[in-house]
Structure 1
Amino acid sequence: MTFHNTLISWYLKNKRDLPWRNTSNPYHIWLSEIMLQQTRVAQGTPYFLSFTSNFPTVLDLAKADEEQVLKLWQGLGYYSRARNLHKTAQYIAFELNSQFPNNYNDLLKLKGVGEYTAAAIASFSYNEVVPVVDGNVFRVLSRYFDIESDISIAATKKEFTALAAALIPNDNPALFNQAIMEFGAIQCTPKNPDCTICVFNDSCIALQKKKVDNLPVKSKKTKVRDRYFNYIVVEDENKNTIINKRTQKGIWHNLYEFPLIETDKEEGFKYVSEAITQDLFAKSIILGIIEHNEKSIIHKLSHQHLHIKFWGIKIKGQIDKGINQKELRTFPFPIVIHNFIEGI
């Protein structure tokens, strides 16, 4: 059997029943592919179902308020995906009359759609013969063919794309692309794959050379920055609070948060209480300050580790334009703040 025949045969017996696999609707394919970037299937599936329920068509998504989109995205992370998703939906709905581009090259022109996503939509929706190359595909091909090229280098992407293009069958590209990604996701896994039951265990070169754990090669290390966030949770005599919208570029753009004191290192009660009373709320009569979590919550992002503490302060009188607890829960927050609010 050829590589693609063996692969597709395995797929038809072992594939997971995922909601976006039962359609060729480009809107659903696009939604799923954007959501599954940097996200596991188990985590992304409820969000996909929520979005397709709240926004059945691309026009529905386009007409939604951005805050509604961010609220539904809350907890999925990488929020620029949600903002690009919304802007692209508006472009497709209002400029293209709700018609998705029907080929790889035109799909690539959409905001937030890169080579991988464009290939996925073109293949799964329009059966265009174009290979989909993601981390799963890198892993499968590098092991099967014993390719030691560094996948962090741009030229390697071209190498793997050319190889996948040579393997893909012209009569069923969508099935092949689904199969190789699924194979990497549930059989040829990053760590501890069970090669004893693999359909390729008699032809995989990395297995024969005992190199499975060493492939694919990826040399570039992401430098992680530590940041220290102190959120000030205000409560007035009516139990109202204050939140701000993060309008600056960077993490959590257009999400909401409590007033923030960012420090160079983890600080204790003395430093933060002085910053509150002498700077942030110098004009308020403060009745008390408490430390909600003595130990910082470490929230890990791809390039940053956030060390987060929540500080509660009670102030005398009423806050101008304060937010009550019921209204507070309607705003889109980073998941770490959302979880804190749900716990108070």
Structure 2
Amino acid sequence: MTDRTDFAARLLGWYDSHRRTLPWRAPPGERADPYRVWLSEIMLQQTTVVAAAPYFLTFLQRWPTVRHLAEAPLDDVLAAWAGLGYYARARNLHACARHVNERLGGRFPDDETALLDLPGVGAYTAAAVAAIAFGRKATVVDGNVERVVARVFAVTDPLPGVKPRLRALAATLTPDTRPGDYAQAMMDLGATVCTPRKPQCLICPVSHACEATRMGIAETLPARTAKADKPTRHGVAFWLESAMAVLLRRRPPTGLLGGMAEVPSTPWEAGGPPTPAAVQAAAPLARVPWRPLPGSVRHTFSHFHLDLTVTAGEAGDNWPAADGYWVPIGALKGEALPSVMRKVVRHALDHTR
């Protein structure tokens, strides 16, 4: 078996020279701010560093402390989050900030167990905040770390079923000293050297300890169970204008895109486009002459594809909004519209102007 006794020492030595400069990362020798660590880790779930960085900087500028974020209206937080996806994270982010501010005096707990009690904080985030912000020994396992560990130990069983084993193996490598730096070093290694395709084993600081490198199978790991094809759902979105404003409505507070703004639409269902009767029943105003716009809007969620056609209508001036609210077209950028709805807005404007 490969000797891994100096794994952490070699990795930390490499990190000291090659660490990435990231907006949420404290400079060498400085203590990390728990608020920044927590905020970044929530944003980085299911999101890349490149995508998360501008959102992080925007949030930090608007809400520099957990108290500022806790006191912000939820609608403002959702609007600032729009486009980052997985919107339950934004609602949980706000709930967690309020919990920390109101119940914990604005101070984050410093150990995994207490962190796990916070809204929206799971095992990964709790370990990351404990290690990076508070120097606690904790095993931080994200996708990058899973890949590194699968290769170091030549684990050929597929994800996601092998996740518990990879976490247990990762724990055997976690050092007692500099756990926060070590956690970030593992992430950096996976992001820059031990990459999904064409891993750079020749320059890897821990290739001596990697069983997959020795066996010549590093690029094939981690194995993954084949994913089932995603189904396609269909719907019709209603672009209704009145006096240079457009009708929006708020989605239910829980569930897909919970609490976000949307252009009204039929339910999104599989089995083909909705019937004319279903479209008429879902229209926000039945007496409006609706005009189908050419083309459609395509969007992919984690579990399904969505194909939306858009139909446009005019309600006249000052028409009451029974199920929604009017927003001036020039103010749409400030609304908490998820990515799919921003696509609908662009499509409608492209074909009605």
Common fold: TM-score over 0.5:
yes
Give a deviation string over 1:143-164, Cα, whole Å, max 9, x none.
11212244422xx444333333
Structure 1 vs Structure 2 CA RMSD: 2.4
Contact 1:222 1:303 in 2 (8 A): no
The answer for the alignment partner of 1:284 in structure 2 is: 287
Matched letter for residue 218 of structure 1? R
Match of 1:191 among 189, 192, 197: 197
Post-superposition shift, 1:251? 1.3
What does 1:1-344 correspond to in 2, within 5 Å? 2-22=6-26, 24-153=32-161, 156-219=162-225, 221=227, 224-236=230-242, 238-247=243-252, 249-262=254-267, 264-267=270-273, 280=283, 283-286=286-289, 289-291=291-293, 293-294=294-295, 296-321=296-321, 322-341=326-345, 344=349
Matched letter for residue 83 of structure 2? G
For structure 1, the 5+ residue unaligned runs are none
CA 1:182 to 1:319, structure 2 compared with 1: closer, same or farther past 3 Å? same
SS of equivalent residue, structure 1 residue 18: coil
SS of equivalent residue, structure 1 residue 191: coil
Contact 1:138 1:151 in 2 (8 A): no
For structure 2, the 5+ residue unaligned runs are none
State the aligned residue count. Answer: 335
Post-superposition shift, 1:250? 2.3
Matched letter for residue 280 of structure 1? A
Return the TM-score normalized by structure 1.
0.89
State the alpha-carbon separation in 1 of the partners of residues 259 and 230 from structure 2. Answer: 23
Return the TM-score normalized by structure 2.
0.87
SS of equivalent residue, structure 2 residue 245: coil
SS of equivalent residue, structure 1 residue 307: strand
Matched letter for residue 166 of structure 1? T
- Once the two structures are aligned, what percentage of the paired residues are identical? 34
State the alpha-carbon separation in 1 of the partners of residues 84 and 239 from structure 2. Answer: 24
State the alpha-carbon separation in 2 of the partners of residues 245 and 152 from structure 1. Answer: 35
Matched letter for residue 244 of structure 1? R
SS of equivalent residue, structure 2 residue 291: strand
SS of equivalent residue, structure 1 residue 260: coil
SS of equivalent residue, structure 1 residue 138: helix
**Which stretch of structure 1 is more off in the superposition, 221-230 or 22-31?**
221-230
